[in-house]
Structure 1
Amino acid sequence: MAKSEVEVITSERRRRHWSRAEKERIVAAALEPGATILGVARACGVHGSQVFRWRQQLCSKPTSAPGFAAVTVAAEPPVAAARTQGLIEVELGAETRIRISGAADAATVTAVITALRAGKR
């Protein structure tokens, strides 16, 4: 299969440069009803994978640039205050765990454990 047209690149660049307008024109032609990307690529003298890449670049949603989030560094609580608050951790079987931090009265803890046991039956 012989091509009737040959392109000779005489610049120092070895690769062909496509402007954004040319890329948009080729991608638009490939998106026409009944057109195939490979058919349009052959007609324009481009490799099919290049047209797929251009379509991905031109038709994808723009992503926001990564940035920094505002962060506030809080001071650690005093050690004495952390000890007075307390922590209760109860495991009922392998799947149920409850963690209560801070001040909790015995009636509340008993009610929570009773409710969890009733739900396991």
Structure 2
Amino acid sequence: MVCEVARRFDVTTGLIYTWRRQALAQDAGPAFVPAKLVDVPNNGCAAEPAVCVDFPSGVKVRIGAAAPCELAAAVMRALK
């Protein structure tokens, strides 16, 4: 199964195991949260798919589809 995933995404099996080990080592709490699709008014912004996250603190973040993954991850880590 790991070999199939590695082949599908063009990564090595060692990288998948490294990611798994890193994920298990983190004390990040729940890895998944409920998600729902909602219609958001454009408000004059470019119409592009985005991820909207509402943090328990009340902070709301909208990450555009063109944002680099590293940037999105850094924002999420900073606000958790």
- TM-score of the pair, normalised by structure 2: 0.30
- TM-score of the pair, normalised by structure 1: 0.21
Relative contact order, higher structure (CA 8 A, sep 6+): 2
Q: Which has the larger radius of gyration?
A: 1
